[in-house]
Amino acid sequence: MKLSHTYLSGLAVLLSIIATPSQADTMQSRCDIYDKPQGELLTSTPCTFSQRQGYISINRDDGISYNLAPVDEAYIGTFEDQNGNWVYRKSGLSPDGVIFKMPTEYLYLYWGKGE
């Protein structure tokens, strides 16, 4: 009986781990949009950054969203947006955030600066 109880307890724990959906890492942030690196600031708006299994979503409070999928055959930090354009993650804000080179603009994303 004891073996049966131990087996069932272990099975219950295993099933709860398997059945738990993976969670995205989400953070309120601030998005500054520039025409070029350190160029003219086009807009600054609160945004939500979310990352799950390498996929990134950025939802700006002004209604613009970016859905980025990693490009397997490219360098790390290369993504494809929802329109099929390549987007590149750049360094330069660490540890305060990350820069994305979009097709027509640069998105400077500052962690936890959602005001």
- Residue 95: the pLDDT is 93
100 in a structural domain:
yes
Total domains in the chain come to 1
**Which amino acid appears at position 103 of this protein?**
P
CATH code of the domain covering residue 83: 2.30.29
12 in a structural domain:
no
DSSP character for 21?
P
Measured distance CA(19)–CA(114) in Å, rounded: 33
- Residue 85: the pLDDT is 97
Domain of residue 81: give its range.
24-111
Tokens of 14: 């295993």
Classify burial at 86, counting beta carbons within 10 Å of its beta carbon; exposed 0-12, middle 13-18, buried 19 or more: middle
Measured distance CA(22)–CA(6) in Å, rounded: 27
9 in a structural domain:
no
Each residue's pLDDT tens digit, 14-68: 333 333 344 569 999 999 999 998 899 999 999 999 999 999 999 999 999 999 9
Asked if the model's pLDDT at residue 1 lies above 90, the reply is: no
